[in-house]
Amino acid sequence: MMRLSRFADYAVLLMSHMTREPTRVHAAVGMADDTRLPVPTVSKILATMARAGLLESIRGRDGGYRLAFHPRDITVEQIISAVDGPIALTVCLESRGVSCELEDICPSQPNWRRINDALRHALAGVSLAEISTPIPLNFELQPLTRERNFNFS
């Protein structure tokens, strides 16, 4: 099973919550109350988002965090990468330039890279504004269609 980390899921939730009032300064305690997440978790995620440049940290008595960009200019890929690091579906893709010891005998490694790049591209194609907008109840997903020609000879 492939799954986002809990922190990445919470980060998307918190950032989506902020889109309701994108210019307002949001305090961690208030966001924790609103989202029913623990205050330490919210504080850690907000600080991580600020270090990644997706949030501005506002100091002072009325301090907190606000979005550094318009929600349409922040992608889901940026949020996930800020929390979990670069998206890598397999160990060989997270090697950061170091060759895998099985690379010379592994025919699937280049294809894993294609799949990983497609996933990253898909997540980069969804903005915070889009993921924060509820889908209507009558919305139907259209199946992906792609002609495939496999030649196994």
Q: What value does the mean pLDDT of the chain take? A: 86
pLDDT tens digits for 81-137? 999 998 888 766 665 555 667 767 777 777 888 888 999 999 999 999 999 988 766
Strands (E), 6-123: 55-58, 64-67
Which CATH topology does 6-131 take? Arc Repressor Mutant, subunit A (1.10.10)
Show me where the domains of the chain are located: 6-131
Strands (E), 25-136: 55-58, 64-67
